[in-house]
Structure 1
Amino acid sequence: MQFDEIVAVRKSSAAWRLLRADNAPLVLSFLGRVFVDDNIREISESGLISLLDDELYGLNQRLGEGTYPRAPKAYLDEWAAPSAGWLRKYYVTDSDEPHYDATPAVERAVAWLQSLRERDFVGTESRLNTVFDLLRQIVYGTNTDPQVRLAELRRRRAEIDAEIDAVERGEVSVLDATRRRDRYQQFGEVSRALLSDFREVEANFRGLDRQMRERIATWRGTKGELLDEIVSSRTMITDSDQGRSFQAFYDLLLSADRLDELDRLVRETQAFSDVADDRLANIHHDWLDAGTRAQDTVRRLSEQLRRFLDDQAWLENRRVMDLLRSIEASAYSVRDGRTDEFSHEIDSPSPTVVLPMERPLYHRAPTVDIESDDIEYGEAEGDSDALFEQIHVDPAPLVDEVRRRLRRHDQVTLADVLAESPLSQGLAELITYLSLTDESFTKIFDDATTQHIGWTDEFGARRTARVPRVIYSRPRTTGPGDRLDAIETQESR
């Protein structure tokens, strides 16, 4: 970096301002623990004030009264001010209480501080293997020559065949503790970096949306040109390198096979006591929650943009009405002779004549005679009780069943729920499961994967329905303990 570039970053970077702040240890320790370590993406003002009050009380008790004399809300207002830019303060739908989220500047500052720690072990072998894999993907993934691709595939097949032969002979090569620790260290760094990247992706999406709103507010052209500009801008967001990379990552993470494999690999890795880290035990679920939140951010920005355009259309309609009233006032002044000089051109000196006989005459509709003599009343055959039978499925027990499964798992599928509690009311109960809504969990439909749900009807016949994969998961807006308390409170009600 050049000297002038470093000076510009020093003046404009919020992360640099955070590192230079007088209360930087408080900001970094508190915000890093809440938003980075615990991966909280949204918290209410009252909840954050409560956590900061406990933090300030403990520091004042340990460092002396008056070390941090201000109220917790005063600190939050200072950190969320534009001059600081360390917290994002906003309002969510159906809530009058502000909510907070950390900005990417906090992620960068915390990551930089963590990089300053002395490490007793620095792995290099796994990084070298990763470099080779990435270079092979770049070179052979973009090469269109079939011979080159076939040569690489044969080389990889030869390596796999040699490894298979060695295993069949009983020569099993396993990773020792050092190499296993090396790879786990790299896995932890990449996993935490991904969570940090999601928050930066959200910030970039909001920045593009602000630029688009500014473009709309200062537009002076026609409405058609404005719509073309908006459509191209939204396409630019989704078709950008960042948008395509994020969508590819999210689609890959939603793949049922990949998600199951990732969950299995993480659980088996945590079984090694020398590399296990509790913060990485559910990292793939944190990825899914962060990716879903980024998708929700884009959806909310689109809805807000639509409402903004509706307001612009209302202003244009009001301008049109003002023009119409002006035309009416001018017409009244001409009618009353209040305008001395008035002239108007007409298209033709004579009107167009249409004779009445050129139109078709009225024809009366023919009358149809209906004979109602000798009518025989019919009798219904069969039992009509089935017409009055109604099936009602109470959703409350189904919600309780999903909650019970989510006590032991962060997310479950519909097939997991039905494995313990099969369908007893047939298709109506299955449809009720698909339409469940509750504040204690969220529901995701994976259209890329289908599942077969079976049940036995009242006649003893076996029925099967093919439906998309349904995933019920806990919400990630608060800490794990708070979510369990909220579920138990809801069940007690």
Structure 2
Amino acid sequence: MDYDYLTSLRKYHPAWRLLLADHAPLIIAFVHRSFIEPNVRSLPEQELAARLEDFLFHLRQGLGEGHFPKPAREYLNDWASDERGWLRRYFPADSDEPHYDLIPAVEQAIQWLAGLEQRTFVGAESRLKLVFDLLRDISQNSETDPETRITELSRRRAAIDAEIEEIRAGHMAFMDPTRLRERFLQATDTARALLADFRQVEQNFRDLDRQVRERIATWEGGKAAILEEVLGQRDAITDSDQGRSFRAFWDFLMSADRQQELTELLETILALEPVAELNPDPRLRRIHYDWLTAGEATQRTVARLSEQLRRYLDDQAWLENRRIMDLLRGLEQHALAVRENLPTTPFMTVEAPAPDVQLAMDRPLFSPPIKPHIEQAPLEEGTADIAADPLFEQVYVDKERLRARLRQALQTQRQISLEALLQRHPLEQGLAELVTWLSLATGEGLGLVDETQEQVVYWTDDQGQQRRATLPAVIFVSGHQGAHP
């Protein structure tokens, strides 16, 4: 930190400018009451202006009517202007009313001011223990030697076993009230600091989105290259240390078991007498639900930015297509202008009106020519004795005869089932004739098959035995085509 850097920081950083503002107590007190204390991510302009009017009214009662003379909306517009930048003014996707949200720098300034408050005591022991725990965790989880890790785990197991034995012997060690309050205050500060981290994550994604838009607006290369760069930057922020940490935090918090465990821990700890003497904030009972609300807002912001970026790229593609159409229209206008005054000598030759595309896979593969080899041999008279009776036992079903019977049956009614039709004309050629009826119904589209109903068909075979077949109901319909089996 040198002099030039601090001078620039004092001049341009929103948090430092806020602390130097004339109305800094008004701004900080109001935004803390409206945003940070109730953990509200954003507020519509009308509601926020009404809250500021009430806040100013109470201040004027104590300070005098001459203080803070401007209307509430003017203060909000001033705080959200580019010169101040302490509030972010934007329009949500589903609303035409502007909304306001805090920027991360304002929340950092408020946290710094909260650290200036006089504390009853400073928790030095708990912080030192936290440092040792973090260093021990890093050392143990980065150790590559299996024997070293096993030795450390064995030592920890021996310490746990010794503690269990002490408890069984009736010797239980309790944390004194000072340590209880010290660790509870540290846990409270860490829990509230997490809420500020979500706003910083949102701001980082918005800054990335702005950089990508600026990059697209000044890009002069091809679309493929800019898309590759945009997607690469999206992956870079997602795979960064901050992105991976936020994703791990979100996965950990979304576990139902973790939420239940946090609820039970908070209920138990807040019921302790040393903690109750501190008069803790009642919202601490639901601090994990505030984390969920803030995390969901961050997730929605990232999704909304991705959707806006996609539409922005679509608009860029539409503009590029429009430019191409303008060029083509200009060529058409020039062609119409020279149509009546054609040049005597051709200034351009085109081999073909359209390209002749020949795909490699459309070309036939080489196949060697087949050279038949014909052997001439005298024909000899056959001597095999084969019975020709099976040739005369073939069954032929006349489909035209069956069609005629069907047409005759449908002259007096619109539909008829196969069962009713066979009662009029029983099967004469057995199973072959039944299959032919089914072929007329499904193959030629003369009927429908209802699989929800069944029908039984009977016939007598060549040996005189009674046969039966159970099949779905077949219904022939007059003039029907396109049956579905």
1:317 — aligned with what? 321
Match of 1:403 in 2: none
For 2:403, the aligned partner's letter is: E
Please list the CA deviations of residues 224-261 of structure 1 after superposition, one character each: whole Å capped at 9, or x if unmatched.
Answer: 11111111111112111111111110011001221211
3-state DSSP class of the match of 2:90? strand
**1:47 aligned residue:** 47
Which residue of the other structure, out of 281, 288, 302, is the alignment partner of 2:285? 281
Distance of 2:246 and 2:175 partners within structure 1: 33
- TM-aligned CA deviation for residue 72 of structure 1: 0.6
Normalised to the residue count of structure 1, the TM-score between the two structures is 0.71
Partner of 1:394: none
* TM-superposed deviation, 1:166: 1.4
Q: What is the distance in 2 between the residues matched to 1:140 and 1:146?
A: 11
* 1:287 shift after superposition: 0.6
Aligned residue in 2 for 1:290 = 294
> 2:370 aligned with 1:329, yes or no?
no
Alignment of 1:110-149 (within 5 A): 110-149=110-149
* Deviation, structure 1 residue 341: 4.9
Deviations 1:49-91 (A, max 9, x none): 1111111000000111111111011110111111111101111
* 1:13 and 2:45 aligned: no
Counterpart CA distance in 2 for 1:263 and 1:286 is: 12
Residue 373 in structure 1 maps to residue 405 in structure 2? yes
| Aligned-partner Cα distance in 1 for 2:145–2:404 | 85
Native 8 Å contact 1:14 1:84 kept in 2? yes
Q: For residues 373 and 134 of structure 1, what CA distance do their matches in structure 2 show?
A: 93
SS of equivalent to 2:267: helix
**1:280: how far off?**
1.3
2:64 corresponds in structure 1 to: 64
The aligned residue for residue 105 of structure 1 is 105
Residues 123 and 182, structure 2, Cα contact 8 Å, conserved in 1: yes
Q: Is the 8 A contact 1:123 1:182 kept in 2?
A: yes
Are the counterparts in 2 of residues 86 and 103 from structure 1 also a CA contact under 8 Å? yes
Task: Map 1:160-309 to 2 at 5 A.
Answer: 160-276=160-276, 277=280, 278-309=282-313
- Name the SS for the 2:403 alignment partner: coil
Deviations 1:379-403 (A, max 9, x none): 98999xxxxxxxxxxxxxxxxxxxx
Instruction: Tell me whether 21-30 or 331-340 shows the greater mean CA deviation.
Output: 331-340
Percent of residue pairs identical: 51
2-side partners of 1:110 and 1:55: how far apart?
18
Q: 1:274 offset after TM fit, Å?
A: 2.9
| Corresponding position of 1:465 | none
More divergent stretch after superposition (74-83 vs 320-329) = 320-329
1:295 shift after superposition: 0.8
Q: Distance in 2 between matches of 1:176 and 1:341?
A: 105
AA aligned opposite 1:40:
V
Residue pair 2:14, 2:84 contacting (<8 A) in 1 also: yes
3-state SS of 1:118 partner: coil
The CA deviation at 1:324 is 1.3
Distance 1:58 1:325, change over 3 A: same
Listed as ranges, the gaps of 5+ residues in structure 2 are 357-398, 410-415, 421-449, 454-485
| Matched AA of 2:98 | P
Work out the CA distance in 2 between the residues paired with 1:274 and 1:94.
Answer: 48
The residue correspondences of 1:473-484 to structure 2 (distance < 5 A) are none
What does residue 348 of structure 2 align with?
344
Query: Could you list the per-position Cα deviations for residues 365-390 of structure 1 after superposition, in whole angstroms to 9, with x for gaps in the alignment?
Result: xxx9672625752698999xxxxxxx
- For 2:175 and 2:107, how far apart are their aligned partners in 1? 33
CA distance in 1, matches of 2:131, 2:314: 50
Counterpart-to-counterpart distance in 2, 1:131 and 1:220? 51
Runs of 5+ consecutive residues of structure 1 not aligned to the other structure: 353-367, 384-493
Question: Considering only CA atoms, is the larger Rg found in Structure 1 or Structure 2?
Answer: 2
Distance in 2 between residues matched to 1:112 and 1:43, nearest whole Å = 24
Superposed, 1:21-32 pairs within 5 Å as 21-32=21-32
Does the 8 A contact of 1:18 with 1:24 survive in 2?
A: yes
In 1, Cα distance between the equivalents of 2:345 and 2:5? 68
Query: 2 CA distance for matches of 1:39 and 1:70?
Result: 27
Q: Take 1:50 and 1:345, find their aligned partners in 2: how far apart are those partners?
A: 75
SS in 2 for 1:373: helix
Cα deviation per residue 1:388-423 (whole Å; 9 max; x = unaligned)?
A: xxxxxxxxxxxxxxxxxxxxxxxxxxxxxxxxxxxx
Q: Paired residue for 2:394?
A: none
The Cα shift of 1:159 comes to 1.8
Higher RCO (Cα < 8 Å, 6 or more apart): 1
> What secondary structure does 1:55 align onto?
helix
CA–CA distance in structure 1, aligned partners of residues 451 and 108 of structure 2: 78
In 2, Cα distance between the equivalents of 1:289 and 1:104? 17
Does the CA contact (< 8 Å) of 1:334 and 1:342 recur in 2? no
Q: Which amino acid aligns with 1:135?
A: L
- Given that residues 79 and 85 in structure 1 are in contact (C-alpha distance below 8 angstroms), is that contact kept between their aligned partners in structure 2? yes
Q: Aligned to 2:325, what secondary structure does the other structure show? A: helix
Amino acid at match of 1:303: E
The answer to whether the 8 Å contact 2:263/2:285 transfers is: no
Q: Which one is further off, 335-344 or 178-187? A: 335-344
Between the aligned partners of 2:34 and 2:94, the Cα distance in structure 1 is 24
Cα distance change, pair 39–341 in 1 and its aligned pair in 2 (3 A): farther
Matched pairs, number: 367
SS in 2 for 1:311: helix
